[in-house]
């Protein structure tokens, strides 16, 4: 049996692909041969340019994922532009920081809507497309170390990422028999916009680095290999897993 990570002929949808982890994942998938639909509410020009530089193919779909309104259009537009939709990476997410005693309902709802509600309904729309076409597919959710741990000052983020781990397992149980693999990646501490406040805090930055066995914050390109693996035929018998990519953080 030949094990293949080749994604030639596949189309991947990556949400939040304008920067950070989404950008790193999109470039990696394109490097493995996939056409990538870049989804987000801000410009994806930098990601498009990086994909073009390696000879890849991509197109952008503007969508605000703070509500479920655009989910159907994301699938239909991807199919219209690329001819298929085979892989979905639910990467888009937001974070709000405040002490739990002071956390507001608005901040709670905003995070839960983007990080959990829209992820479910976009996954549902994607799976409905696959079932209607009678073809297999891959869903990769971007969870977090906070799917396993509590964290501090990010109650809605921790709740959403813990919920996403559970949702990953539930959807895997329901959809594995339909040929749809649902798995998740749990990134550790990566150098992205979401962690800027931590990296700019000398004490928190030092404490985090001291616990990472690899000795450095993750770089967005360091998550791409896991995404390619879970998107490829090499992972066909993997369902419902949450794969940490954390520099050894959870092993500490």
157 flagged as catalytic: yes
What CA–CA distances, in Å, run from 64 to 57, 61, 86, 157, 182? 23, 10, 22, 19, 23
Listed in sequence order, the residues at least 6 apart from 180 whose beta carbon sits closer than 8 Å to its beta carbon are 127, 130, 136, 137, 138, 139, 171
CB 198 within 8 A of CB 180: no
CB 22 within 8 A of CB 224: no
Report residue 2 as tokens: 């030949």
Q: In this structure, what DSSP letter does residue 247 have?
A: T
3-state secondary structure at position 243: strand
Rounded to 5 degrees, what angle do the CA atoms 107, 109, 111 make? Answer: 70
Catalytic hit among 157, 189, 217, 249: 157
- φ and ψ of 110, to 5 deg: -60, -45
CB 144 within 8 A of CB 161: yes
What CA–CA distances, in Å, run from 115 to 128, 161, 184, 225? 20, 7, 13, 23
| Residues carrying an active site annotation | 157
């Amino acid at each position: 049996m030949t094990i293949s990570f080749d994604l030639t002929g596949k189309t991947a949808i990556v949400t939040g692909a304008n920067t950070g982890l989404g950008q790193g994942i999109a470039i990696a998938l394109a490097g493995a041969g996939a056409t990538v639909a870049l989804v987000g509410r801000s410009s994806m020009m930098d990601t498009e340019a990086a994909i073009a530089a390696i000879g890849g193919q991509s197109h952008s779909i503007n969508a605000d994922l703070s509500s479920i309104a655009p989910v159907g259009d994301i699938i239909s537009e991807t199919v219209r532009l690329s001819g298929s939709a085979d892989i979905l990476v639910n990467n888009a997410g937001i974070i709000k920081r405040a002490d739990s005693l002071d956390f507001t309902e608005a901040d709670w709802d905003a995070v839960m809507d983007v990080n959990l509600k829209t992820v479910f309904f976009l996954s549902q729309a994607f799976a409905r497309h696959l079932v209607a076409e009678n073809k297999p597919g891959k869903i990769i959710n971007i969870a977090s170390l906070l799917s396993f741990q509590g964290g501090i000052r990010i109650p809605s983020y921790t709740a959403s990422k813990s919920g996403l781990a559970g949702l990953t397992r539930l959807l895997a149980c329901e959809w594995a028999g339909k040929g749809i693999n649902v798995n998740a990646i749990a990134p550790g501490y990566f150098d992205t916009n979401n962690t800027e406040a931590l990296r700019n805090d000398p004490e928190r930055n030092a404490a985090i680095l001291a616990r990472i066995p690899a000795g450095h914050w993750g770089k967005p390109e360091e998550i791409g290999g896991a995404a390619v693996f879970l998107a490829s035929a090499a992972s066909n018998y993997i369902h419902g897993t949450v794969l940490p990519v954390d520099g050894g953080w959870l092993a500490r």
